[in-house]
Amino acid sequence: MKHLYDCILGEKRTEVILATDVASITSHIETTIRSVLWVCDTNTVKFLATDSQKTVVLPSGEEAKSWQSIENIVAAAVKLRLARDGFIVAFGGGVVCDTAAFAASIYMRGCQLILIPTTLLSQVDASLGGKTAIDVFTIKNLVGTFYPAKHVFVCPTIVKSLPEKEFKNGLGETLKHALLAQDQSLMEFFENQQRAIMRRDAMVLERMVIDSLQVKRFYIEADPREEIGIRSALNLGHTFAHALESAGNLNEWAHGEAVAWGVAKALESGLKLKITDHVFAERALRLFESYGFNIGYRVRHIERFMLALEGDKKRKSGAVRFVMLSNQGKIRLETLEDQIIKSVISRT
Amino acid sequence: MKHLYDCILGEKRTEVILATDVASITSHIETTIRSVLWVCDTNTVKFLATDSQKTVVLPSGEEAKSWQSIENIVAAAVKLRLARDGFIVAFGGGVVCDTAAFAASIYMRGCQLILIPTTLLSQVDASLGGKTAIDVFTIKNLVGTFYPAKHVFVCPTIVKSLPEKEFKNGLGETLKHALLAQDQSLMEFFENQQRAIMRRDAMVLERMVIDSLQVKRFYIEADPREEIGIRSALNLGHTFAHALESAGNLNEWAHGEAVAWGVAKALESGLKLKITDHVFAERALRLFESYGFNIGYRVRHIERFMLALEGDKKRKSGAVRFVMLSNQGKIRLETLEDQIIKSVISRT
């Protein structure tokens, strides 16, 4: 195991640790920490050789992000007599990490928290940055906190065994990070190492995860609580993606695929508005295509899509500001006219 | 209305504002803030002339500190389309403040929060310091956050209309603050102004509330998250008080009365151990007595009391450390032998 760096989020810091295999992480935690409550889901429980008294197993999927899960975790913590200096350890994907982290942030006004993300998406996204949440009244992430983990264990080799759809899910976000990076090295890496990445070679996976996390780190350290418009760069592609998902395609698209499509639409909007550098945009669009993302997908029910966007706007008490890129790593927040949006989503 | 000071709690700050009457606070908020959700209880709702669409009325009493209340507040916030820059305003005693503040801290990962404490106890205690909480599985404050309010409006004249028991409730905590102050001026004030305080004269109430809050401010600014043992000074008397309350006297004693008794027991323990200055202890004990607190109360069921203390110990994964005073404003954390505890609670 190797200490990579401390990510500084305001007053809090998260130690990021690189691990070569899961077994070494769990045994390290079991031997060094006295008081631990494990939180996993029905998919990841089989990789945990922990005492069932000390383990909460959540259902798999988004429905686990519920108050019921929080109650179950808190009940188990009380039963274990977990104190404020005790640890809740999340072992799973984004849903498990978000839910366990929210529980840790409110149990006794905050106990200790470790995240072990087990998907590519959660390794490069949910693990770092302190956003915790559950869904309430079917509204995604309506309730949550900012509560950075004390330690995050990143184990890129886990990615080898992910189903194809889950791998692509994470790939969409890592490619997004390549565009947001302050230099072109991650972009070049994706261009040059495509075959090794698709084969999921251990060495390239490690570099992909570490470098992608560094991009996230750059934005969240500059703006930990998303207050000054820098952290929102990470939402690149997400406004388009959420509208696509809400407009009835929620189960058809993996989230990472919707994000890849959304990033493409943000680039195309930028081209139309002459905000985005032409060479950069073409190169980025080619990259997504070369990894098999369907960025040319045309929305058929345009009005339904526009309504979904409208819903976003209402919740945010004002105009929706899209994250746009003028060039590699250079963001701008812009409102977009309906005409531009309609034209890029239907490619007229 | 008068800006008193900003209380700095780590990265957060709370503006403390002195107001002469409640009506001016509510109209100030209604005219200056666009997006507001009011939270009150069945006791305080009559003082609020607000739109029922914009008001959540909690039941009165401790049972309101529940997840059900949080759901009700969040549901009302969603209905109002409250955004992260919108305000939740608590109008009530400690229960309303703790609950509304917890809801504000988790709604959209934290929206804006204003507290208008309407009891003496909540004005000098719950309003400042950022502790929010609800009770879960009948365990008091099991779930909560640290989330300092943006503004706290303090209106000492409210204290004039409190029932006697509620007034005494707050008085116990304010006397405790007098002992914790860094100089003797608040203690002298209580000694010299007793008749005016018991008559609840407006001028003395204002000074009592403001000076008592300053004492709390001193301890919480030095240790916002109760991490280095300074903030725990504010728990003076509370370990004894909680045990008294859990040992079957929960409804017999107002919390402030139990705290006053507990402070006396801490002083008496300090005398027995020769930790506490004799002159200071005698003076402090006389002060509590002169305000009519039953500090000489003898616990009859000693074993039940010791079991209640034991329960506290188990939850805190280690020995219970009592807050002791060596002299005015000088605290020490000490474990106490059973023999000492038994002797002070039964006065043998």
ipTM summary value? 0.93
Structure token pair of residue B343: 């002797």
> How confident is the model at residue B250, as a pLDDT?
54
Choose the mutation target among A105, A106, A113, A315 for the interface with B, i.e. most B CBs under 10 Å: A106
pTM check: above 0.90? yes
Q: Which amino acid appears at position A233 of this protein?
A: A
- B330-334 and B322-327 strand pairing: antiparallel
Residue A313: its pLDDT value, please? Answer: 57
Question: What's residue A298's pLDDT?
Answer: 93
pLDDT value at residue B156:
95
The amino acid that residue A5 corresponds to is Y
So what's the pLDDT on residue B229? 87
Note whether B292 contacts A: Cβ–Cβ < 8 A: no
Judge whether A144 is closer than 8 Å to chain B, CB to CB: yes
Interval A92-126: pLDDT, tens: 999 999 999 999 999 999 999 999 999 999 999 98
Closest approach of chain A CAs to the CA of B264, in angstroms? 28
pLDDT in tens, A218-242: 999 999 998 888 999 999 999 999 8
| A217 CA to centre of own chain | 12
Whether the pLDDT of residue A179 is over 70: the answer is yes
| Chain B residue numbers touching A143 (CB-CB < 8 A) | 74, 106-108
Angle formed at CA A118 by CA A113 and CA A124, multiple of 5 degrees: 80
Question: For the range B76-80, what are the long-range contacts, defined as Cβ-Cβ under 8 Å and sequence gap of 24 or more?
Answer: B76/B37, B77/B37, B77/B103, B77/B107, B77/B111, B78/A137, B78/A139, B78/A142, B79/B53, B80/B35, B80/B37, B80/B53, B80/B54
Question: Using 50, 70 and 90 to split pLDDT, how confident is the model at A208?
Answer: very high
Q: Return the minimum-mean-pLDDT range out of A155-169, A176-190, A205-219, A243-257.
A: A243-257
**Distance (Å) from the C-alpha of residue A207 to the closest C-alpha of chain B?**
32
Taking the Cβ of residue B310 and every Cβ of chain A, the question of whether any pair is shorter than 8 Å is answered with: no
What's the average model confidence in pLDDT over A271-291? 97
What per-residue confidence (pLDDT) applies to A319? 73
Q: What number is the average pLDDT over the span A153-180?
A: 94
pLDDT band at A255; cut points 50, 70, 90: confident
Count of beta carbons in the 10 Å neighbourhood of residue B84: 16
Closest Cα of chain A to B145: distance in Å?
4
Name the token pair of B76: 């009302």
What's residue A317's pLDDT? 56
C-alpha closest to that of A308 among A320, A323, A295? A320
DSSP string computed for A45-69:
GGG----GGGEEEEPSSGGGSSHHH
For residue A249, the model assigns a pLDDT of: 53
Closest by Cβ to A81, choosing from B11, B142, B314: B314
- With cut-offs at 50, 70 and 90, classify the pLDDT of residue A347: confident
Q: How far apart are CA A17 and CA A19, in angstroms?
A: 6
Q: Dihedral of the CA atoms B28, B32, B38, B40 (nearest 10)?
A: -10
Predicted confidence at residue B249, as pLDDT, reads 53
Residue A246's pLDDT is: 80
Give the residue ranges of DSSP H helices in chain A. Answer: 22-32, 67-79, 94-106, 120-124, 164-180, 185-192, 194-198, 202-222, 238-244, 255-272, 278-290, 302-315, 338-346
Confidence (pLDDT) at B348: 61
Residues of chain B with pLDDT under 70: 248-251, 312-318, 348
Instruction: Let me know: does A76 contact A83? Beta carbons within 8 Å.
Output: no
Domains and CATH numbers, chain A: 2-161 (3.40.50.1970), 164-346 (1.20.1090.10)
The radius of gyration of chain A from alpha carbons, rounded to an integer in Å, stands at: 20
A147-160 confidence digits (pLDDT tens): 999 999 999 999 99
Query: Which pLDDT score is estimated for A330?
Result: 97
